[in-house]
Structure 1
Amino acid sequence: MKKLSNFFYNRTNGYLVLGFLALQFIFSGLILPYFQKQFDPELNRGLMDLSFGFTPENGYNIIESYGEKGREVYLFVESFIDILYPIAYTTSSILLLSFLFKKNGFTKYPLLNLLPLIGMVFDMLENFGIIQMLKAFPEKVDFWAKFASNSGLLKWGFFGITLTITLISLIMWGFNALRKK
């Protein structure tokens, strides 16, 4: 893992960070909303992926509300698009943390820049659980709903930790830049 951490520390730069942040915004601002409109045209049914936990009943109500065609699209999104998106945002987060840690002299904590990988693992597990729910539908398998929900909660927890560390590092970088003036 230390080699992977060093790989990102050694290769990160502002252009790479901006490029991956742009890719992340393309996914979250264009690609995902496009597909969401295919199974939730009014954008009011909700997404289990964006929920901070859900009960099996709520999860299956959401799935049922999409209709047969919507469930097919959602299955495609969960099986393909929402596999690529976590890779993009995780890479973006690792590069950003690596960049900020380098700027702040925090490279002595070599594995901390890889923290987003843990969140990505739980995001993938959440997706796997939702895929199992979709495949089993109309059967309702509470195990997969709870698995997806709990994985999602852990994903959001690690996202919050990553976001907090990123914001602190960004603020420190700003203060250091002002102090040098």
Structure 2
Amino acid sequence: MEKITKLLEKQHSGKKVLVLFLLTNIVYAYMLLVTIPATMDFSNGLQLLDMMPAGYDLEVVNTLFHTLGDIGRQTYLSKQIPIDMIYPLLFAISYAGVLAYFLTKLPKLNPKFLYLCILPIIAGIADYIENIGIISMLNTYPTVTETSVHITSMFSIIKSSATTIYFLVLIVVLIILGFRKLKPRSKN
């Protein structure tokens, strides 16, 4: 853990963080505007598994996969999943960098706060495991097992929970920085 926090402290330059942030969000925008809608064209309005932060059960998975049909399931495998195998790495690196960048702007930073930068890394790892589970279920459909659904759903929940906590932490840090920026001005 110490090595990770030292790496984050060194890699928080504004330009690096900005470039990674932009690249990550370009990939995310591509998923939101192209690959997810292309897959959802076959879903009859049902959400994709990646987009269910509270998880899902066997019935939901079977209903979705049945509704997608052969072409929709193939679209999920060949269009959405490949891009979603790039995004978690970019998310983990860039969002850890974003938080590290802003945390190091706080005066008298307790180095233990840099451990919070691990949240997007946890989300990224969970996203990969979720993706592997979705690939496995798509490839074994219609014989999807309750166990595979439960494990994949659990990692969907971990991904969304870590992401939510991350953004809450980031908002708190930005609010603290905002107040600190405003404080000297109000004294003048």
Q: Quick check: TM above 0.5?
A: yes
Q: Kindly indicate whether residue 67 of structure 2 is the aligned counterpart of residue 59 of structure 1.
A: no
Tell me the distance in 1 between the aligned counterparts of 2:181 and 2:123: 30
Tell me the distance in 2 between the aligned counterparts of 1:54 and 1:61: 11
Tell me the distance in 2 between the aligned counterparts of 1:144 and 1:13: 41
Q: Kindly indicate whether residue 116 of structure 2 is the aligned counterpart of residue 108 of structure 1.
A: no
Q: 1:75 matched to which residue of 2?
A: 77
Q: C-alpha root-mean-square deviation of aligned residues, in Å?
A: 1.9
Aligned residue runs from structure 1 range 1-181, under 5 A: 1-41=1-41, 44-51=45-52, 52-77=54-79, 79-105=81-107, 106=109, 108-109=111-112, 110-181=114-185
Unaligned runs of 5+ in 2: none
**CA offset digits 1:90-126 (Å, max 9, x no partner):** 1121011101110014351142222221122211111
Secondary structure of the residue aligned to 1:138 is coil
Counterpart of 1:138, as a letter, is P
Counterpart contact for 2:42–2:68, Cα < 8 Å:
no
Q: Detail structure 1 runs of 4+ shifted over 6 Å in the superposition.
A: none
Shift of 1:71: 0.9
Which has more radius of gyration? 2
- Over the matched positions of the two proteins, sequence identity in percent amounts to 25
- Tell me whether 100-109 or 31-40 shows the greater mean CA deviation: 31-40
Shift of 1:34: 1.0
Counterpart contact for 2:42–2:72, Cα < 8 Å:
no
Shift of 1:155: 1.2
Counterpart contact for 1:53–1:153, Cα < 8 Å:
yes
Tell me the distance in 2 between the aligned counterparts of 1:92 and 1:180: 31
With normalisation by structure 2, the TM-score equals 0.87
Counterpart contact for 1:101–1:107, Cα < 8 Å:
no
**CA offset digits 1:3-54 (Å, max 9, x no partner):** 2222221121222222222222212222443112322227722111110211
Counterpart of 2:66, as a letter, is E
Secondary structure of the residue aligned to 1:139 is coil
